[in-house]
Amino acid sequence: MSGRYVIHLPVTAPDLARAKMLGRTAGRALAFLAHVEPGGITVSAEDNQGVRHWVFCDRRLDGGRRCVLRADHETPCTPRLPR
């Protein structure tokens, strides 16, 4: 056992798009906490939790940072949100 635990926090949304939006919002709001890994956030249908959808792209970029855009973005990856 790794000695780490994962918190599963059920939050409901009416559809996949809004679930992903809520996941991104929660991840960005909690990203200041050292133990929060926004790149690992996924969402699933309540009755099919084995099928998960990634919320963030999370690709590794030069310098060790990760992309902060949504998982299905079509623009180049970036380590910071555009203003």
* Tens of pLDDT, residues 39-67: 889 999 999 999 999 999 988 998 888 88
CA distance to 11, 14, 69, per residue, from 66 (Å): 25, 29, 9
Percentage of the chain with pLDDT > 90? 52
The H or E element containing residue 26 is helix 16-30
Q: Round the average pLDDT of the chain to a whole number and report it.
A: 89
Across the range 19-28, mean pLDDT stands at 93
Q: What are the extents of the domains in the chain?
A: 1-83
Classify residue 28 by burial, with Cβ atoms within 10 Å: 0-12, 13-18, 19+. Answer: middle
Across the range 70-83, mean pLDDT stands at 88
pLDDT greater than 90 at residue 73: yes
